[in-house]
Amino acid sequence: MAVPEKILREVDKLREQIEHHNRLYYAEDAPQIPDADFDALVLRLEELEGKYDIADKDSPTQRVGGEAIAGFTQVTHEIAMLSLNKVFDEADLQSFEARIKKRLETESAIQYSCEPKVDGIAVSLLYRDGVLARAATRGDGLTGEDITHNVRTISNIPLKLKSAKKNSVIEIRGEIFLGKEGFRKLNETSEKEGGKIFVNPRNTAAGAIRQLDPKKSAKIPLQMYCYSVGLVDGIVLPEKLSEIFALIEKWGLPVNPDRSVKNGIDACLDYCLDLLAKRNDLSYEIDGAVLKVDSLELQQSLGNNARSPRWAMAYKFPAEEKSTSVIDVEFQVGRTGTITPVARLEPVFVGGVTVSNTTLHNMDEIERLGLRIGDRVIVRRAGDVIPKVVKVIPHEGEKKLAKQKPIPMPGNCPACGSPVEKDGDVLYRCSGGIICPAQRKEAIKHYASRSAMDIEGLGSKLIELLVDKEIVKSVADIYTLSVEQLANLERMGEKSATNIITAIEKSKQTTLPRFLFALGIREVGEATALQLVTHIGDLEDIIAADGESLLQVPDVGPIMAEHIRLFFSNGDNVSLIQTLRGCGIAWPLVESGSGDTKPLLGETYVLTGSLELMSRNEAKAKLIALGAKVAGSVSKNTSCVVAGPGAGSKLSKAEELGVKIIDEGEFIALLEDLT
């Protein structure tokens, strides 16, 4: 049948777009769109080529990746390095197995080798007589780039295999990547040195592996996991991929510890979902799982398509990067007066949730991105972190559309109209203070919150109503409220009003750390409030502490010390505290001291997994009160790890280092013994 001209034009444009983005991704390490957008282009092209039977050998759907870049010696792969087809849901996964069984003419259960889909760079390692002779990128699948000089700098890639066999050749294929911790430390160091801030681990790894100078590559802590074997000569390998993994691991090659073998596609789906659940706890970035028929004989029978094997499939997780448009930018005022730009976005599903707005942090970030209202941007959401705009997508022909507008910082607070002042290098603050409705409401909400004075029933909406009606103008006014005042409000009966007044009375008996935290001193969180009380003493001692004394408190640095000192040197703040105490707020007497008699002084604890009998914050507070330091990661200096259900990489690290591990029951018993 004749193909409509409209379809041919769309196909031509899709091929052009895919080739363009392929070149940016593989040859220039400068992708402009997220993987999810690229996958959508390829899927659409495959759909049209299949429907109208117009695929040809030059279509990007028939080739893998892009061309080798100039400046490197080209390497021809003896066996092509194919890419994987992708599925995104259970139905497509079931179809994948159905096709396999139909081709094999069997109804027997298929055994699969399953592994995480590491977000890195596909490479080939060629060992001759057990010695690393060559390393190459995948390139276009047939021709790659010689990167041996850079691969030799990667510490977990052996230069010589443990079982070196003469007159043998074996090609190991795998993924080179940059782990999360390595990426964090790299950016931390670069920022301190005033250097480039890297956007994500995958692009950083790609840039490092293509350095002409291996000394530059060596500065990036790259790693590798092996995922298959290519050319083999002079070596007899096992008949299953899972057994090959076990063998090459004995040779000293790095294989993924999270791999598994599953029978049937239902078990594979369970593996994928389990992997998705622990995605955030992994030490490296993944974007899905890879499922491969385990039997090499069956792999041979199934064979390959032009660009992918029939016996393997990538199950892609919800995209962590998607493109969308910036509709507007608004400015929000925080409880301390910080004015933050917030991008309003065309809703986009990314990282498992629909995102319609995200913080832009500060004006420096807007300038760094070159962002304007109306721009199309890439939004990234990894795990449970706040979505982030990571890049502005360039406009074709560098044309700026008329609807695009610059984003200036307002001269006056959007909440109260007070002048906006610069605070430090990047922050802006409202100068209105307590007269600013935004700050007043947020300050009262914070004061009444569960971690602060814990006034049950005094929620955000009720606080906003009380402030709007000018019944409550400061936190002290909370303690002058009556049942009659509350009962007369909309949707508030006498019983509810009575319960709230009871909760307000109950909140008067508190602890000093809670009260300090409730005051909203800049940068003083729950842990710091507890440290102040533990190491300085009662409120009068803390109010009187000078900068030098404050710096002796763990986790209190010069900036935080100055915030604390300024807060208590403000007469209005001290007057407010006196008013609150006059309302009946009290706490048990606190003895001053450095905490040198604390039973866990000098010990470092790590909490991982979920605790069922107390909150993570409560457990942390109890440990700090006993003199312990609570760290976020496990190291050789860790004294003990408290592991609850769902503990992941931290538990594994503790087992690896031989660190003491206790469960929640043992932790509760320890607290009872020490208190």
- Residues with active-site annotation: 117
CB-based contact 29:210 (threshold 8 Å) = yes
Q: Whose CA is closest to 187, among 426, 390, 424, 423?
A: 390
Strands 260-263, 111-118: pairing kind:
antiparallel
Would you state the structure tokens that stand for residue 331, as one six-digit string? Answer: 């400015």
Tokens of 638: 């860790």
Distance of CA 28 to the CA centre of its chain: 25
For residues 514 and 526, give the distance between their C-alpha atoms in angstroms, rounded to a whole number.
7
d(CA 341, CA 362): 6
Task: Name 605's bridge partners.
Answer: 630, 640
Q: At what angle do helices 201-209 and 180-192 cross, to 10 degrees?
A: 80
**Residue pointed to by tokens 């032009």:** 306
CB 64 within 8 A of CB 140: yes
Please provide the DSSP assignment of 40-70 as one string: HHHHHHHHHHHHHT---TTSGGGS-S-PPPT
For CA atoms 150, 151, 155, 159, give the dihedral sign: negative
The percent helix, strand, coil of the chain (3-state, each to 5) is 40, 20, 40
Structure tokens at 630: 């609570």
User: Residue-wise over 418-454: b if at least 16 C-beta within 10 A, else e?
Assistant: bebeeeeeebbbbebbeebbbbbbbbbbbbbbebbbe
Neighbours of 523 (CB within 10 A): 14
**CA Rg value for the chain:** 30
How open is the CA angle 104-107-112, to the nearest 5 degrees?
70
Rounded Cα–Cα distance for residues 157 and 121 (Å): 14
Check: CB of residue 56 under 8 Å from CB of residue 62: yes
- Quick check: 435 and 443 in contact, CB under 8 A? no
CA 639, distance to chain mean position in Å, is 27
Give the span between the Cα atoms of 146 and 137, in whole angstroms.
7
According to DSSP, residue 449 is labeled S
Rounded Cα distance between 179 and 202, Å, is: 9
- Whole-angstrom distance, CA of residue 102 vs CA of residue 86: 19
Q: Tell me how far the alpha carbon of residue 61 is from its chain's centroid.
A: 32
* Contact assessment for residue 636 and residue 657, using Cβ atoms and an 8 Å cutoff: yes
- Contact between 30 and 316 under an 8 Å Cβ cutoff? The reply is no
- Closest among 326, 285, 318 to 200, alpha carbons compared: 285
Closest by alpha carbon to 600, among 575, 567, 623?
A: 623
From CA 65, how far away is CA 523, in angstroms rounded? Answer: 48
Give the phi and the psi of residue 220 in degrees, each rounded to 5.
Answer: -100, 120
Backbone angles phi, psi at 23, to 5 degrees: -65, -45
Q: Are 371 and 360 contacting, i.e. CB atoms less than 8 angstroms apart?
A: yes
